[in-house]
Structure 1
Amino acid sequence: MTESEMKFRDTTIRNFFDKEDRLKSIPGQKKKKLVLLEHLISKLNAENQYTEKEINTFIKQYHDDFCTIRREFIVQGL
C-alpha cells in the first residue's frame, strides 16, 4: 500500500467512525465504502467461521443497519 493510499484509508476511517468506533454513515463512494468494509472485516478472526446471527451481532456494534453492511460484505466478496 502506498503512502497516499494509507493516508486515504486513515482519513476515511477517521471521518466515518466516531470516538466510540461506531460507523456514522455508510458512504456512497465505492472506494470509501470498501475501505470501511475492510476495516470492519479486519476486526473479525479470519480463522473462524461465523453464523449469520454472529455476523449481525458483530455489525450491530458498529452500525444499526446491519442488513446493508452484511449485504455489502457479500457483494464485495469479503
Structure 2
Amino acid sequence: MDIINNYIDQQGKINIIPRKQKGKIVVFEYMMAYISQNGTHFTEKELNDTIQEIYTDFATMRRYLIDYQYLERDPYGKCYAVIERKES
C-alpha cells in the first residue's frame, strides 16, 4: 500500500498534513506533482486556486511548500516558482 493513500481520499484530495516528517514529505511531493502539471511559475491567485483543488487550507500548504523549499516566492509575494529539486 502506498503511503500517500493514508492521507488522501478516493478523489485524490489531501485529507490531512501528517505530523511526522516522513508523512509530510510524501504529501508535499504529491502536492508538487499536482502543482507542476500546471507549470512552474504562478501568481499567488493561480497557486492558491491550484492548491485548493486538492487541499482546502491553501495558505497553510503554500507556507509549508515554501518552508520546505519546494516553492520560492518573489520579494513582493506576488509570484511563486517551483524549485527544481536535484535527485541525490
Structure 1 length as normaliser, TM-score? 0.78
Q: Can you give the 5+ residue segments of structure 2 that lack an aligned partner in the other structure?
A: 71-88
What is the match of residue 63 of structure 1? Answer: 55
CA RMSD of aligned residues (A): 1.6
Aligned-residue identity in percent: 32
What is the match of residue 32 of structure 1? Answer: 23
Please identify runs of 4+ aligned residues in structure 1 that moved more than 4 A.
Answer: none
| Bigger proportion of residues as strand | 2
1:41 to 32, 38, 55: 32
| Bigger proportion of residues as helix | 1
SS, match of residue 50 in structure 1 = strand
How far 1:51 sits from its partner (Å)? 1.1
Structure 2 length as normaliser, TM-score? 0.70
- 1:75 paired with 2:75, answer no
